[in-house]
Amino acid sequence: EIWPRGDEKTWKAGIRGIPTSVSDITNAIVYHVQSTLARQAYNLDNMGAYQAVALSVRDDLIVKWNETQMQYTRKQPKRAYYLSLEFLMGRTLDNALLNLGLKQQYKTATHKLGFNLEDLIDSERDAALGNGGLGRLAACYLDSGATMELPLWGYGLRYHYGLFSQHIAPDGSQLEAPDPWLDTDNPWEIPRQDVTYDVRFYGHAERIGNGKAVWTGGQEVLAVAYDVPIPGYSTNTVNNLRLWDAKPKRGFDLNSFNAGDYDRSIQENSSAETLTRVLYPNDNHMLGKELRLKQQAFWCAASLSDIIRRFKQVEKPWAEFSDYVSIQLNDTHPTIAIPELMRILVDEEDVPWADAWDITTKTFFYTNHTVLPEALEKWAVPLIEHVLPRHLQIIYDINMSFLQAVERKWPNDRDRLARMSLIQEGEPKQVRMAFLATIGSTKVNGVAELHSHLVRETILRDFVDFFGKSKFVNVTNGVTPRRWLDQCNPSLSNLITDTIQKPKAVWLKDLTLLKGLEPFAEDPIFRKKWALIKHNNKKHLADYIKTHLGITVNPASLFDIMIKRIHEYKRQSLNLLGIIHRYLTIKAMTAAERKKINPRVVIFGGKAAPGYFMAKLIIRLIVNVARAIDADPDMKDILTVVFVPDYSVSLAEILIPASDVSQHISTAGTEASGTSNMKFCLNGGLLLGTVDGANIEIAEEVDSNNVFFFGHLTDAVEDLRHQHKYHPIAVDERSPALAAVLKEIEGGRFGDASVYQPFVDTIRTGDYYLVTDDFDSYVEANKMVDDAYVKDPEEWTKKTILTVSRMGKFSSDRAIMTYAEEFWNIEQFPIKM
Q: Is 164 helix (H, G, I), strand (E, B) or coil?
A: coil
CB of 376 to ligand BZD, least distance (A): 9
Asked if 136 is an active-site residue, the reply is no
CB of 141 to ligand BZD, least distance (A): 10
Query: For 368-391, b where at least 16 C-beta lie within 10 A, e where not — what string?
Result: bbbbbeebbbbbbbebbbebbbbb
Distance of closest approach, residue 283 Cβ to ligand BZD, in angstroms: 3
Question: C-beta of 810: minimal distance to ligand BZD in Å?
Answer: 12
Which candidate, 789, 786, 771, places its Cα nearest to that of 575? 771
Active-site position among 103, 565, 600, 799: 565
By beta-carbon proximity to ligand BZD, the closer residue of 275 and 672 is: 672
Query: Measured from the CB atom, is 56 or 480 closer to ligand BZD?
Result: 480
Of 103, 581, 616, 679, the active-site residue reads 679
Closest C-alpha among 252, 242, 254, 297 to residue 275: 297
Q: Which of 92, 670, 675, 797 is catalytic?
A: 675
> CB-wise, 174 or 673, nearer to ligand BZD?
673
CB of 482 to ligand BZD, least distance (A): 18
Query: Which are the contacts of 195, defined by CB distance < 8 A and separation ≥ 6?
Result: 224, 225, 306
Distance of closest approach, residue 331 Cβ to ligand BZD, in angstroms = 6
User: In this structure, which long-range contacts are made by residues 508-513, counting pairs with CB atoms below 8 Å and at least 24 apart in sequence?
Assistant: 508/233, 508/234, 508/481, 508/482, 509/147, 509/148, 509/233, 509/234, 509/813, 510/808, 510/813, 511/481, 511/807, 511/808, 511/809, 511/810, 511/811, 511/813, 511/814, 512/808, 512/809, 513/808
Residues that bind ligand BZD (CB under 6 A): 131-134, 137, 282-284, 369-370, 375, 447, 477, 671-675, 693
From edge to edge, which strands make up the β-sheet containing 707-710? Answer: 639-644, 600-605, 558-563, 661-664, 686-690, 707-710
d(CA 818, CA 145): 11
587 is catalytic: no
| Min dist. Cβ of residue 671 to ligand BZD (A) | 5
Alpha helices (H) in 124-168, listed in sequence order: 133-147
Q: Can you tell me the distance from the alpha carbon of 434 to that of 422, in angstroms, rounded to the nearest whole number?
A: 9
Q: How far apart are CA 330 and CA 458, in angstroms?
A: 20
Q: How far is the CB of 564 from ligand BZD (least distance, A)?
A: 9
- To the query of whether residue 564 is one of the catalytic residues in this protein, the response is yes
Partner residues linked to 246 by β-bridges: 223
**570 in active site:** yes
Contact 598, 789 (CB under 8 A): yes
Nearer to ligand BZD, 138 or 356 (CB): 138
Distances (CA, A) of 376 to 128, 290, 418, 437: 23, 17, 17, 12
From the candidates 58, 369, 527, 581, which is the catalytic residue?
Answer: 369
Q: For ligand BZD, which is the closer residue by CB, 457 or 761? A: 457
Residue whose CB is less far from ligand BZD, 102 or 672: 672
Query: 3-class secondary structure for 558-579?
Result: EEEEEECCCCCCCCHHHHHHHH
Buried residues in 250-266 as b, exposed as e (16+ CB within 10 A): eebbeebeeeeeeeebb
User: Least distance (Å) from ligand BZD to the CB of residue 675?
Assistant: 5
**CB 370 to ligand BZD: min, Å:** 6
Question: Any idea of the CA torsion for 618, 619, 620, 621, to the nearest 10 degrees?
Answer: 50
Beta bridge partners, 446, equal 474
Active site includes 107?
no
Compare residues 578 and 674 and give the one whose CB is closer to ligand BZD: 674
**Catalytic one of 564, 620, 664, 764:** 564
Using Cβ positions, the residue closest to ligand BZD within the complex turns out to be 133
Q: Which is nearer to ligand BZD, 283 or 767 (CB)?
A: 283
196 catalytic? Reply is: no
Whichever of 287 and 354 has its CB closer to ligand BZD, that residue is: 287
In the set 443, 570, 664, 814, the catalytic residue is 570
Q: Whole-number minimum distance, CB 287 to ligand BZD, in Å?
A: 8
Q: Taking Cα atoms as reference points, which of 550, 545, 645 lies closest to residue 601?
A: 545
Q: 182 or 286: whose CB is closer to ligand BZD?
A: 286
Write out 528-566 in H/E/C secondary structure: HHHHHHHHHHHHHHHHHHHHHHCCCCCCCCEEEEEECCC
296/735 with CB nearer ligand BZD: 296
Backbone phi, psi, residue 331, to 5°: 70, -170
Report the SS3 class of residue 37.
Answer: coil
Q: What is the largest CA-CA distance in the chain?
A: 88
- Within 656-770, where are the H helices? 676-682, 695-702, 714-726, 731-734, 736-746, 753-764
Name the strands in the sheet holding 472-474, side by side, starting at the edge strand that comes first in the sequence: 190-201, 219-231, 238-248, 152-157, 79-83, 325-330, 364-367, 443-446, 472-474
Calpha distance 449→786 (Å, rounded): 30
Active site residues: 369, 564-565, 570, 675, 679
